Structure 1
Amino acid sequence: MAANDVRTEGGEHRPSVSLIYNPAFRSILFQIATVLIVGSAVYYAAHNVAANLARNGMSTGFGFLNSRAGFDIGQTLIAYSPDSIYFRALQVGLLNTLLVAFWGIITATIVGLLVGIGRLSKNWLIAKLCTVYVEVFRNIPPLLVIFFWYLGVLALLPNVRTIFQHVKDNPDAFFFVSNRGIYFPAPVPGETFVYVAAVFALGVVAAIAFTRWAGAHQLKTGNRPPVLLVNLGLIVALPLVVFFALGMPMTLDYPIPGSFNMRGGMVVGPEFLSLYLSLSFYTAAFIAEIVRAGIRGVASGQTEASYALGLRSNLATRLVVLPQAMRIIIPPLTSQYLNLIKNSSLAVAVGFYDLVAVGNTILNQTGRSIEIISIWMLIYVSISLITSLFMNWFNARMALVER
């Protein structure tokens, strides 16, 4: 036996393995190399930008956000005037972006769910209409859809003069639709309305707790408590009882004709409506296909078993098929939600002051392109990550638990 032979206890040869072929070592090595490369690229870009700015005598920083804005914004959710600072204007733009994203996601989900189920309908007309809807909206750029609603639909509504004449003929009218927006009464809560809001919040918490208890009770006994009725009582009926018991602590501010436009009340402008409707219906077409694929992904035996148990078609879809299809639907659904949020930046095309439109105005006034673009990137990344985290949590909640 050679002196340099390496043998194990069992007498078998085991040659030495180089560290570079160790998978664990290589994974760590590649991660370190990636961090160094990305860090070097970021440092080089930052150093290059700083050098170019210094060469041109330009300073950086976010101190300009405390300067007077000097421009007006048509639709705001918080108090704002041209005398407000740039930071306040960005807050208004961010809230407008979140408003469009919130209502757009809700509407797109509802419409997409209905159209996706409709494509699988046994009714020939419903299935074909849903197919036409999906094929039309999926193959049109969202910007053209925005122009369709803004220039082709909302711009053709009656003008304000027609509304003034309508008010003269119908003095009791309080809801008006024109090419300048939709006008309706604005609720003005009283001092004691805070108690109604507190009861509503407690009702929501109680409804969540009852729903969780009902699910555990159903798993244990097989009996499902009346969750819908109880939740409606906690969230709707109970606050209404308190509202009327306190003497209805809320008044309405009605819109009335002014010199050139309507005064008072609330108005939803055509810019917001065109953006909201276009993003909702455009995204709903993609969600419909996701829903259809998710339902198709559920084994047909599940539907047959539900029919054998005596469930009607609508109950089988709602109680058996959709809960299982959600495991397939949720991951791609998250991508569509993120697309809708990012597509809201197209608001600048119709003059709606979202985050990008407000930032673009500030950029033109101050020339702080790097700072404004950094703010855009930070906010959109934050919104996308929060949305993804929530959808990942929801996906984990919907996943089947093995027993």
Structure 2
Amino acid sequence: GETRDGDGAAWRGDDSAAGTRGDAPAALPGRLDDDIDLGARLRVTGTAWRADPGDRAVLVIDANGPVEVLAPPHGALAAASALRRGLVAVTSGLPPPGGGLIAGLAVGDTSAVDPALDAAMKTSSLSHLTAVSGANCALVVALAFGAAALCRAPRGVRVLTGLGALTAFVVLVSPEPSVVRAGAMAAIAMLGILLGRPGAGLSLLTTAVVVLLLADPWLGLSLGFALSAAATGALLVGAGPLADGLSRWMPRPLALGVSVPLAAQLACGPLIVLISPQLSVYGVVANMIAAPAAPLGTIVGLAACVGAGIPLLGSGLAALAWLPAAWIAGTATTFADLPGAVVAWPEGFGGLAALAVLGGAVAALIVPGHPRVRAAAVLLVA
């Protein structure tokens, strides 16, 4: 049979019993070659069987030979592939580990990230920076919308410019669950601006999640989608009250800086232990130190990606993007090497429930509340 779209998302073959041909979602166990791009047409020979009930794939193919690339991607997917490869090429000569991190920051391409750096990023709770997140989508839309506004374009043109930039960015980085969530939120926000009814952040998040789950119910089984939604919801709902509580003990600007990564870690920690049963002790501090460099690395990295084919321009922008990337990589490795960087935690849903309760107790200690609730939270944390 043939698989299509480099991720092995579809299978075409002959049904010997029915004598018909058709397409069906399929899964190829194992990792495909990094040289295979989204949109490529592939051929693989192997044994196929039905996937488990509830899985997105209808067939699972156990390949018994190499995957043959019949045709590369074409159209927009070919352009996106060329841009990604161009960015990797212009950053390949930059000093590691920062050089390998630029493509991850800008377009989510982690093929050049050193395994040691990847482990350090996970240990220090900075791995979200090597994958495209909602922050990247927000930056792209804001830059495009702002550029149209500076040109005094009417509201409709500003919205179309923002949506066009968002669409191009999603194609460039590939529609991962976190990107789909962020893109849906941005698109709904742009629609609200066009209609003169801008929505609050929480309403945008809930609307985007409901629409996406109705359109693609399998996103409900995606841990990446759950982490993205949980982190965004925590920032919208929890960062403010946490900052108010922390401001009793520290300056307000510092409290705001601590509350953002703390809210995200409290919300995402219980989900993360499902795949890695450990806690990052210095994650909040590491995110505070790395946070200022992330937007700069993303913006300059995207500029280097677009200009990669232009002599000197692409390499010059890549060299500039190396500075924030090296800062983030240095932060990750420094905190990962500290003693006690991670603490083991019970795995499975029991660990999830225990960490969720502990996170709630920590939030109750910080946010002003009833004295009895605080006393119970103190005992629970102890």
TM-score between both structures, scaled by the size of structure 1: 0.21
The structure whose residues are more often strand, as a share, is 2
TM-score between both structures, scaled by the size of structure 2: 0.22
The structure whose residues are more often helix, as a share, is 1
Higher relative contact order (CA 8 A, sep 6+): 1
